Amino acid sequence: MMAVPTILRERTPQLIVLAVILALNAIISPGFFSIEIQNGRLYGSLIDVLNRGAPVTLLAIGMTLVIATKGIDLSVGAVMAIVGAVAASLITSGYSLPATLAGALFVGLICGLWNGALVALLDIQPIIATLILMVAGRGIAQLITAGVILTFNDKPELIFVGSGSFLTLPMPVIIWIVIAILAILVVRRSALGLLIEAIGVNRRASTLSGVNSRVILLAVYAVSGLCAAVAGVIAAADIKGADANNAGLWLEMDAILAVVIGGTSLLGGRFSLVGSLMGAMIIQSLNTGILLAGFPPEFNLIIKAAIILIILVVQSPASQTAMANFRASRHAVAVKTESREHAAR
Amino acid sequence: MKNSKYLPLIATFVVFVLAYVICISVFPNMLSTRVAGNLLTDNAFLGITAVGMTFVILSGGIDLSVGSVIAFTGVFLSVILRDTSIHPLVAFVMVLCLTTAFGAAMGATIFFLDMPPFIVTLAGMFLARGISYLLTTDSVPITHPFYSTLQEIYFVMPGGGRLTLIAIVMLVVFAVGIVLAQRTRFGTYVYALGGNLTSAQLMGVPVAKTTVGIYALSGFLAGLSGIVFSLYTSAGYSLAAVGVELDAIAAVVIGGTLLTGGYGFVAGTFLGICIQGLIQTYIVFDGTLSSWWTKIVIGLLLFGFIALQRGLMWMSERSARNMRHASAVQASSA
């Protein structure tokens, strides 16, 4: 029972930012917080934020673990496109929904393992290793769809994954919440999270102290691939088709941004899945807010750039040492005055 | 060691020659100065920005903002030429100052805040793209007569191929880049930074000035590339040049530059650009292949060259270990 408040207390800045943005949204559009039930499904802007944020949230879960190992996965957007194409082509060629989902997840797993193998076995820098799939991935997706947007309007079972609802909540929301809880439990209720952080701090040292860093790195990139696969299926099911060019375009940047906003350091060694989820929600509420305010969506990029800059300044080692020095000097002054008073007495 | 330094470059050259021979054996028409001229013209903007990317990667960094800066340059020029009577040459100078300052600001952020170049230039990428969206979201044509004059300048090569002004600009940029990397103090500093930051600092390399200089150079070349791109397309569009940073990075890697920094050649990047151009030309000549094959082949080439680099590093590490071992054995026997 005590665990939940601690997690939230650690993430106070993110919570404040999220609350401020939601409050601004509510000022812009008064009905923002109203939620109503129609046809057994919840409707409202807040639900919409949760729903629209599903792909970035899922990507952010995998990305958090990758970044915690001092890595990065640039390929997730391209993997989404590949998986969307695979799912669409499987379902349109007559496979059942379970077979389609299994095939799609398998392809995502393979993509993740490929990245993981390059990083863990060939020791290639993560940026570069995942760049290969980022460049080639959309080409592969085009190859699968043969250059057209594969639509599956007549396949309600797959569309259900993107726009159906279960227990009054939209399916994407349920999927990301379940996966997030699973990930948090697995990582934090076992030593796995600690081992991942150990690799991020110093891979060589953790290998020497008996951590099987190769297997863990492979697993982390595989998880990222799987998360991207789920996001890809949701994105494809949402538009009832696989768009190899635009599915997941630039979402890797949003996912990285969500992770960074959530307080996970890009330098590795420390991560917070809850923080990343909040980061993803902050990004999505911003997007929704900009739309509600009637600003052109072009403002999005500038606001995102400004957020990154602020976080950079706060997170940077330079300003951290400056803060530490400031505190130390105040402490020194306090000690000095105290001793002077002592001497005077 | 000396051999392994040039090996990636030699490998790139061999790949280029092989690719060209294959192309010619399938389509004999590709052996003409017309094709060569078009290849250079079509890839002029990519080549120019890839030179800047080479310096950034040589120093161990990365610049994700170049594609957005190219788009910003085009939009800025088209809006200024549409709404004011400023002469294009003046507008060129203005935009180059802006992009250079932009690059310098990113370099300063990277150095003084001690943050990874990846995330700083990512912010730069969002910012530049966002500003060009704010200027206009339409594709604005450039109709200034001076543009037509510039577009009409070309040099006829033997065989009828046209070496256009923008192709010449790219070749000049590559020549200057090679001299800057190999023959100047700045170039030496760049290699030193990429080799080992701490040793560079201890040797007295002005790290702050060099880092700012490198990203300013990349910003300047991205601006120049934007000007060339606007000459090439006669328009400014805020959605233009999406993903050019990836093409530029790919060209640099295929050109044999080590992504960890410290090793590589500007000339290799030129070969990288030519290889990418060849793939595109082949696909155009073939007619039945789709353009997405370009991406897949470039991805494969990327993988091939990165694997080659890893292999070389592994070999040199092993030979160093063997040498150390041998000298240790010698010492103990003595």
Q: Mind spelling out the 3-state secondary structure of A100-147? A: HHHHHHHHHHHHHHHHHHHHHCCCCCHHHHHHHHHHHHHHHHHHHHCC
Residue A317 in any domain: the answer is yes
Residue B332 in any domain: the answer is no
- Return the pLDDT at A341: 62
- Residue entry with tokens 């353009």: B291
Instruction: Answer with the residue of higher pLDDT: B189 or B288.
Output: B189
Tell me whether B113 touches chain A (CB under 8 Å).
yes
Last residue of a domain, one of A274, A297, A320: A297
Residue-wise pLDDT for B126-166, tens only, equals 899 889 988 888 888 888 888 888 888 888 888 778 888 99
Residue-wise pLDDT for A63-121, tens only, equals 999 999 988 898 999 999 999 999 988 888 888 888 889 999 999 999 999 999 999 98
* Range in B117-121, B126-130, B142-146, B288-292 with the lowest mean pLDDT: B288-292
Task: Give residue A1's pLDDT band: very low, low, confident or very high (50, 70, 90).
Answer: very low
- Residue entry with tokens 């739309």: A291
Both A339 and A265 in one domain: the answer is no
- Return the pLDDT at A337: 63
Checking if the pLDDT of A59 tops 50, the result is: yes
Q: Are A315 and A322 in contact (CB under 8 A)?
A: no
Rounded Cα distance between B94 and B86, Å, is 10
Q: Provide the domain limits for residue A316.
A: 301-345
Both A234 and A324 in one domain: the answer is no
CATH number of the domain residue B43 falls in? 1.10.3470
CATH number of the domain residue A160 falls in? 1.10.3470
Last residue of a domain, one of A263, A278, A297: A297
- Return the pLDDT at A124: 83
The pLDDT > 90 percentage for chain B reads 39
Rounded Cα distance between A79 and A91, Å, is 18
Checking if the pLDDT of A33 tops 70, the result is: yes
Checking if the pLDDT of A4 tops 70, the result is: no
Average pLDDT of chain A is 83
Subunit contact B296:A317, Cβ cutoff 8 A = no
Strand partners, B322: none
Checking if the pLDDT of A9 tops 60, the result is: yes
Mutate to test the interface with B, among A128, A149, A252 (most CBs of B within 10 A): A128
Rounded Cα distance between A43 and B331, Å, is 79
- Return the pLDDT at B74: 94
Subunit contact B292:A138, Cβ cutoff 8 A = yes
Phi, psi of A341 (to 5 degrees): -60, -40
Both A106 and A181 in one domain: the answer is yes
CA distance B331 to chain A (A): 29
Rounded Cα distance between B74 and B98, Å, is 13
Residue B312 in any domain: the answer is no
Checking if the pLDDT of A255 tops 70, the result is: yes
A113, amino acid identity: L
Task: Give residue A344's pLDDT band: very low, low, confident or very high (50, 70, 90).
Answer: low
Residue A338 in any domain: the answer is yes
- Return the pLDDT at B3: 58
Displacement of CA B280 from its chain's centroid (Å): 17
Q: Which residues of B touch A122 (CB under 8 A)?
A: 307, 310
Both A126 and A256 in one domain: the answer is yes
Sort strands B140-141 and A150-151 into parallel, antiparallel or unpaired: unpaired
- Return the pLDDT at A292: 80
- Return the pLDDT at A85: 92
CA distance B312 to chain A (A): 12
- Return the pLDDT at B268: 92
Alpha carbon dihedral B173, B178, B183, B184, in 10-degree steps, equals: 50
User: Of the candidates B123, B298, B310, which has its C-beta nearest A305's C-beta?
Assistant: B123
Tell me whether B124 touches chain A (CB under 8 Å).
yes
Task: Give residue B1's pLDDT band: very low, low, confident or very high (50, 70, 90).
Answer: very low
Rounded Cα distance between B217 and B51, Å, is 9
* Range in A150-164, A322-336, B211-225, B240-254 with the lowest mean pLDDT: A322-336
Task: Give residue A340's pLDDT band: very low, low, confident or very high (50, 70, 90).
Answer: low
E strand or H helix at B164, and its extent? strand B162-164
Tell me whether B295 touches chain A (CB under 8 Å).
yes
Both A305 and A263 in one domain: the answer is no
Residue B324 in any domain: the answer is no
Residue B23 in any domain: the answer is yes
Q: Which residues of B touch A134 (CB under 8 A)?
A: 246
Rounded Cα distance between A20 and A12, Å, is 12
Which string of DSSP letters, residue by residue, matches A259-303? HHHTT--TTSS---HHHHHHHHHHHHHHHHHHHHTT--TTHHHHH
Sort strands B162-164 and B235-236 into parallel, antiparallel or unpaired: unpaired
Both A176 and A309 in one domain: the answer is no
- Return the pLDDT at A136: 86
Both A147 and A61 in one domain: the answer is yes
**C-alpha distance across the termini of chain B, in Å:** 27
Q: Provide the domain limits for residue B233.
A: 2-306
Both A226 and A83 in one domain: the answer is yes
Q: How many domains are contained in chain A? A: 2
Subunit contact B137:A308, Cβ cutoff 8 A = no
- Return the pLDDT at A2: 44
Stated pTM of the model? 0.82
Instruction: Average the pLDDT over B42-61 and give the result.
Output: 94
Q: How many domains are contained in chain B? A: 1
B210, amino acid identity: T
Sort strands B235-236 and B140-141 into parallel, antiparallel or unpaired: antiparallel
Sort strands A150-151 and A165-166 into parallel, antiparallel or unpaired: unpaired
Task: Give residue A315's pLDDT band: very low, low, confident or very high (50, 70, 90).
Answer: low
Residue A28 in any domain: the answer is no
Q: Are A300 and A210 in contact (CB under 8 A)?
A: no
Subunit contact A139:B114, Cβ cutoff 8 A = no
Checking if the pLDDT of B269 tops 90, the result is: yes
Residue B319 in any domain: the answer is no
ipTM reported for the complex surpasses 0.90: no
Both A100 and A201 in one domain: the answer is yes
Residue A23 in any domain: the answer is no
- Return the pLDDT at A147: 75
Phi, psi of A169 (to 5 degrees): -100, 145
Residues 6+ apart with CB under 8 A from B14: none
Residue B316 in any domain: the answer is no
Both A177 and A81 in one domain: the answer is yes
- Residue entry with tokens 């044509």: B141
Both A173 and A315 in one domain: the answer is no
Tell me whether B208 touches chain A (CB under 8 Å).
no
Mutate to test the interface with B, among A127, A135, A267 (most CBs of B within 10 A): A135
Instruction: Average the pLDDT over A126-133 and give the result.
Output: 85
**Best CA proximity match to B267, nearest among B96, B50, B75:** B50
- Return the pLDDT at A332: 66
Q: At what angle do helices B292-333 and B244-254 cross, to 10 degrees?
A: 40
User: Of the candidates B112, B113, B296, which has its C-beta nearest A136's C-beta?
Assistant: B296
Task: Give residue A233's pLDDT band: very low, low, confident or very high (50, 70, 90).
Answer: very high
Residue A60 in any domain: the answer is yes
- Return the pLDDT at B230: 93
